[in-house]
A and B are shown apart, each in its own frame.
Chain A
Amino acid sequence: GQQLNQSPQSMFIQEGEDVSMNCTSSSIFNTWLWYKQDPGEGPVLLIALYKAGELTSNGRLTAQFGITRKDSFLNISASIPSDVGIYFCAGQKPPNTGNQFYFGTGTSLTVIP
């Protein structure tokens, strides 16, 4: 199945640093979601974006819906050890092309105390 291109694939950062990751696709999406997945757990929804250009924050997390509707990015400010995990983006196509969600390949984040 189709998957979105997510980068970087992995990141190793010092505690307190800011983090940025992004997701791109050749297709237009109506909705972008960002999830965090801890080992052995299901993905947990962090931020949902519904409109091109939209910038949304959730605590130290900020995400944007790209103006072309083909990309999105997630920023984490002042990282802490519990930010460790795999972050996935997910895009939903316009209704007339189905309501499926397509997931990115994931960004593995390691925070060094």
Chain B
Amino acid sequence: GAGVSQSPRYKVTKRGQDVALRCDPISGHVSLYWYRQALGQGPEFLTYFNYEAQQDKSGLPNDRFSAERPEGSISTLTIQRTEQRDSAMYRCASSSRTDTQYFGPGTRLTVL
């Protein structure tokens, strides 16, 4: 079946604007993870959900970052009042069990 999809694939925004990044997990996958990946680095955990419940948000850098998964499927990562340091690749992963995961193609965010 289809893999994890993310949209948009690229987002350029001005500093101070809000952005919403979307993740559509593999159908039926219970768990959904959000990561941020800087160039040349491994993915850095942000938050994860089991069904619609946010299980851990300890990786969110500050209160400008939030995520939701209201119906236990699609998830949105929102960054308010973006700053240049928020520029990165944002990746989503989903899994049918909590001890493995499959990644989407990512959203490249550039804050000018």
Contacts and interface: CB of A to CB of B under 8 A. Distances in A.
B91 to A, nearest CB: 6
A99 interface: yes
Contacts of B98: 92, 95, 99
A44 B99 contact: no
A103 to B, nearest CB: 3
A95 B55 CA distance: 12
A78 B109 CA distance: 38
Q: In the complex, which range does the number of interface residues on chain B fall in?
A: 20 to 34
Q: Which of A50, A95, A100, A105 has the most CB of B within 10 A?
A: A100
Contacts of B41: 3, 105-106
B101 A100 contact: no
Nearest to A44: B103
Contacts of A6: 42
Contacts of A92: 98-99
A22 B27 CA distance: 33
B45 A50 contact: no
Nearest to B4: A42
B106 to A, nearest CB: 6
B99 A50 contact: yes
Interface in A60-80: none
Interface in A82-113: 88, 90, 92, 95, 98-106
B59 A1 contact: yes
A33 interface: yes
B103 A99 contact: no
B103 A42 contact: yes
B100 A100 contact: no
B102 interface: yes
B103 A33 contact: no
Contact of A106 (B42, B55, B101, B104): B42
A106 B38 CA distance: 12
Nearest to B101: A101
12 contacts: A1-B45, A31-B100, A35-B103, A42-B104, A42-B106, A48-B100, A99-B48, A99-B55, A99-B56, A100-B45, A100-B59, A105-B42
